[in-house]
Amino acid sequence: MPFSEIIGQDRAIGVLRRSIAMQRVAHAYLFSGIEGCGKRKTALAFVQAVFCGRDEACGTCSSCRKLASGQHPDLHILEPDGAFIKIDQVRELQKELSYRPFEAPKKACIIDGAEKLNASSGNALLKTLEEPPGNALMILIAPERSAVLQTILSRCQSLAFQPLSAELIEERLVRDGFAGEAARVAATLCGGSLSRGLEIAADGVLEGRAAFLTRITSLSLKDVGALFAAAEEFAANKDGLPELLELLLSFLRDILIYRSTPESLVNSDLAPLVAKESARRSDSQIMELIEQLMAMRHMFVRNVNARLALEVFFMRFCTLRLA
């Protein structure tokens, strides 16, 4: 994959292009950024360009074709085996890197999930990072710098990858055949992750959002049984819960937008529901709900009781309404 096929990461790609052109490619890099923003694709494009000997891979030579098919003998990709990258995996990688390259000017490896290196496997990797055999190229990928062992971080050149803009993701989704409305909503909900946008647009989340939002807005403290049942149901859907929270966050933002620029709604097809809720809540009430919802998202990362958190949020959602 050439650099030209990667969207939204011009700064990081510019750094890598210049390093190739100036023949100053570092031996170890850490690519950090949210899931689905192009880190792995950029790593593959970088290796392809280095093997091809250009700052933009030609895509047609033997080396480029083998990389594109995942069959190049001089590229090794290491991923977690279960919850962690194990020490045996690192030792096998070190063995592979110790051999002379078959075809390319150097060996290369991509460690996708560098945050999953535990103390033992991370320590085993340190010597290779400090003195890569045969001038090997090592690229580590992680969601954020702080998740990587400090000893490893200090031995890599770090490149931060930014979340993609909603406009870029929408354009890509439309190009991939999704309808304009679905592409626009998915691009807004995915948080800058193209892969997440593709999942949202394709897995039926959008089709059920009207029913979901109607159910939430109809919750009432007069029927706490229905409220608790909703919290229990949504909390049980651990994989789908993040998308549901993003749908609700998008809806709350639309209520604020509706009062000033109603033509700019993300959920434009749900304008009547947005208008109804806009009439029932003040701006300060909506802002408080948004803040509580965002705080709840962070709590879920720390594995708090999802059902209890949702119950508390839904009760506050029902309380914060105009008299």
Mean pLDDT of the chain: 89
Find the angle CA(191)-CA(29)-CA(37) to the nearest 5 degrees: 15
Q: What is the pLDDT of residues 229-238, one digit of tens each?
A: 999 999 998 8
Residue 82 structure tokens: 């279960």
- Residue-wise pLDDT for 170-223, tens only, equals 999 999 888 887 888 888 878 889 988 888 887 666 778 888 999 999 999 999
φ/ψ of 190, rounded to 5, equals -85, -5
Q: Out of 2.20.28, 1.10.10, 1.20.272, 1.10.3720, which CATH number does the structure's domain 208-319 have? A: 1.20.272
Residue partners of 94: CB distance under 8 A and separation at least 6? 124, 125, 128, 133
pLDDT in tens, 74-106: 999 999 998 899 999 999 999 999 899 999 999
What pLDDT is attached to residue 205?
67
Is pTM, for the whole model, over 0.75? yes
Task: Name, in order, each residue with C-beta under 8 angstroms of 293's C-beta and a sequence gap of 6 or more.
Answer: 245, 248, 249, 252, 313
- Please identify, in words, the CATH class of the domain defined by 3-160: alpha beta
**pLDDT tens-digit readout, 6-26:** 999 999 999 999 999 999 999
Summarised one tens digit per residue, pLDDT across range 30-77 is 999 999 999 999 999 999 999 998 888 988 999 989 998 989 999 999
- At residue 112, the pLDDT reads 96
| Structure tokens given for 192 | 């800058």
Percent residues over pLDDT 90 in the chain? 58
